[in-house]
């Protein structure tokens, strides 16, 4: 059976990773049987999670996981989309995964480090936890600096994040999904980002911004319910 490796759930957070949530969304959309397991990022082929394991094949990166499901399992996530829609999807994918993702990363690691430490490093013995967390936080800070977003003030970073969220909200409008009534792979990608912003444990300006867009909240919930994902999105919707 297919196995999807993600970060282990901890501290009440189910799969607390935007790309993990995107991969779960793709798997649920595919309708294929799979097992969700806690993976070890140090053993991942590209040093990142998630990873899809199919027998002795390891597929790292959600873009490659999507391609694998399409090419090897015949799943047509984007059937019926025009070339123009595919191009728009590609642009929104990068907005979510290469821009908004970094604002999420900042809002967690830099601004809510204590929660991340307890949520993601719960398995590390208490005596070592601070040390291990500080080391990883240093790497995340360097990555944010390298990417460029980390060079801005908190206010500026959240403005960039809010602009990304507004762009998604405007394009979505009153449609059910980004391209109408039928979900496609871009919805899985955006679901991964939005559902992570919605995690109740992270009370951040990004979450406030998300909460100010009723259509985005309804979209997230609609996707979650359609593919029976459950978890924090439903908790957030209840609040």
Ligand X SMILES: N[C@@H](CCC(=O)N[C@@H](CS)C(=O)NCC(=O)O)C(=O)O
Task: Please give the residues from 15 up to 44 whose contact with ligand X meets the rule CB under 6 A.
Answer: 17-19, 41
Q: Provide the β-strand partners of residue 60.
A: 51
CB under 6 A: which stretch of 13-21, 124-132, 150-158, 178-186 binds ligand X?
Answer: 13-21
Listed ranges 12-20, 73-81, 84-92, 123-131: which one lies at the site for ligand X (CB under 6 A): 12-20
User: Per rule CB under 6 A, is residue 229 in the interface with ligand X?
Assistant: no
Q: Which residues pair with 58 in a beta bridge?
A: 53
Q: Which is nearer to ligand X, 63 or 167 (CB)?
A: 63
Alpha carbon separation from 93 to 22, 48, 63, 188, 238 (Å, rounded): 11, 18, 10, 10, 28
Both structure tokens of 47: 């040093």
Closer residue to ligand X (CB): 19 or 68: 19
Pick 41 or 163: Cβ nearer ligand X: 41
Closest among 60, 23, 22 to 41, alpha carbons compared: 60
Coil, strand or helix: which one is 201? coil
48 makes contact with ligand X (CB under 6 A): yes
Q: By CB under 6 A, what part of segment 52-71 binds ligand X? A: 61-63
Residue 131 vs 181, nearer CB to ligand X:
131
- Identify whether 144 is preceded by a cis peptide bond (ω within 30 of 0): no
CB of 211 to ligand X, least distance (A): 22
Determine the size of the site formed for ligand X (CB under 6 A): 10
**What tokens does 235 get?**
């908790």
Q: Strand pairing partners for 34?
A: 2
The answer to the question of residue 49 lying near ligand X (CB under 6 A) is yes
Closer CB to ligand X, residue 46 or residue 73?
46
Beta sheet of 34-38, edge-to-edge order: 34-38, 2-6, 51-54, 57-60
Query: Minimum Å distance from CB 177 to ligand X?
Result: 20
Collapsing DSSP to helix, strand or coil, 117 comes out as helix
Q: What gap in Å lies between CA 68 and CA 102, rounded to an integer?
A: 26
Least separation, in Å, of the C-beta of 205 and ligand X? 20
3-class state of residue 184 by DSSP:
coil
- Asked if 150 is part of the footprint of ligand X (rule: CB under 6 A), the reply reads no
With respect to ligand X, which residue has the nearer C-beta, 15 or 224?
A: 15
Copy the structure tokens of residue 155: 């206010």
88 lines the binding site for ligand X (CB under 6 A):
no
Footprint on this chain of ligand X (rule: CB under 6 A): 17-19, 41, 47-49, 61-63
């Amino acid at each position: 059976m297919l196995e999807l490796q993600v970060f282990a759930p901890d501290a009440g957070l189910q799969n607390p990773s935007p790309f993990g949530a995107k991969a779960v969304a793709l798997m649920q959309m595919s309708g294929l049987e799979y097992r969700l397991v806690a993976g070890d990022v140090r053993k991942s082929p590209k040093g990142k999670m998630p990873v899809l394991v199919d027998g002795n094949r390891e597929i790292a990166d959600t873009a490659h996981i999507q391609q694998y499901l399409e090419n090897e399992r015949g799943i047509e996530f984007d059937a019926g989309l025009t070339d123009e829609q595919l191009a728009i999807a590609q642009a929104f994918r990068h907005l979510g995964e290469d821009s908004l993702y970094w604002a999420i990363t900042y809002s967690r690691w830099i601004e809510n480090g204590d929660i991340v430490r307890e949520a993601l490093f719960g398995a590390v013995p208490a005596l070592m936890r601070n040390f291990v967390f500080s080391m990883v936080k240093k790497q995340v800070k360097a990555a944010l600096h390298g990417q460029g977003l980390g060079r801005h003030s908190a206010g500026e970073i959240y403005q960039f994040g809010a602009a990304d969220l507004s762009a998604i909200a405007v394009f979505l409008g009153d449609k059910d999904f980004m391209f109408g009534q039928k979900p496609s792979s871009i919805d899985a990608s955006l679901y991964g980002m939005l559902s992570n912003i919605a995690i109740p444990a992270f009370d951040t300006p990004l979450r406030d911004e998300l909460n100010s867009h009723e259509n985005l909240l309804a979209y997230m919930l609609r996707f979650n319910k359609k593919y029976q994902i459950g978890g924090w999105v439903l908790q957030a919707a209840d609040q």
